[in-house]
Structure formats: C-alpha cells, structure tokens
Amino acid sequence: MVLRISSSLSTALVVTDVSIKNDIATSISHIHLADHSLIKTVHHAMFITSMEAELFAIRCGINQVYIKEGVSKIIVVTDSINAVKKIFDSKSHLLWQPLITKDK
C-alpha cells in the first residue's frame, strides 16, 4: 500500500495504533507523505479507554496531514473496528471536531 501511495503526491497515509498498560494509554501515529520523511507522533494519557485513545490518534494524524499543501486524499489504517464505527456514527460527531481549520 505504501509503495502505491508513494507515487501519488496528493495522497497521505496515516497508520495508528494504541496500547494500554497500567492505566496509561500510548497512541502512535505514523504519517507517510510522498515528498516528506516519515512522521511519527506518540502521545501518552492516563485513565482513558482504548477507543478514546484510538480516536485521538486518528484525529491527530489527520490534522497533521490536513495542514500540508497539496494533499487531497487521506487514507487511515487502524486496527480498531470500534473506533471506525464510532467515527461514522452521526450521534458521536462531537468527538470528531477538527483541531485545525483551513480554507481550501
């Protein structure tokens, strides 16, 4: 998937993962853009659910890509089907407000 996306300058790949140990959540986002070096972001939080941490990692990854010029497609890869269901649930959009706004 990364090799195919590498040929497109307008596509970004965001891969997220979360783990929780001793009530401390670690969320990691890897962002691949064709003309940039790999971006890795790590966040730690206490006393939150894995779904909250996964949604946060996805949101942060998308917001980091959103501010880049020329990106018109963002592909998010995650292992949390519950987080994806939550994203597309219209009742939970309060969790999905963009951190950064940009006029296009």
Task: Please state which CATH class domain 2-96 belongs to.
Answer: alpha beta
Model confidence at 46, pLDDT cuts 50, 70, 90, reads very high
- The pLDDT, as a whole number, for residue 95 is 47
Where does the pLDDT of residue 44 fall: very low under 50, low under 70, confident under 90, or very high at 90 and above?
very high
pLDDT tops 80 at residue 85: no
Which pLDDT tens digit goes with each residue over 50-79?
A: 888 888 888 888 888 888 888 888 888 887
- Single pTM value for the model: 0.68
Boundaries of every domain in the chain? 2-96
**DSSP characters over 3-67:** HHHHT-TTEEEEEEEEEEETTEEEEEEEEEETTS--EEEEEEEES--HHHHHHHHHHHHHHHHHT
Q: Give 89-99 pLDDT, tens digit per residue.
A: 655 555 444 44
Give 17-37 pLDDT, tens digit per residue: 888 899 899 988 888 887 777
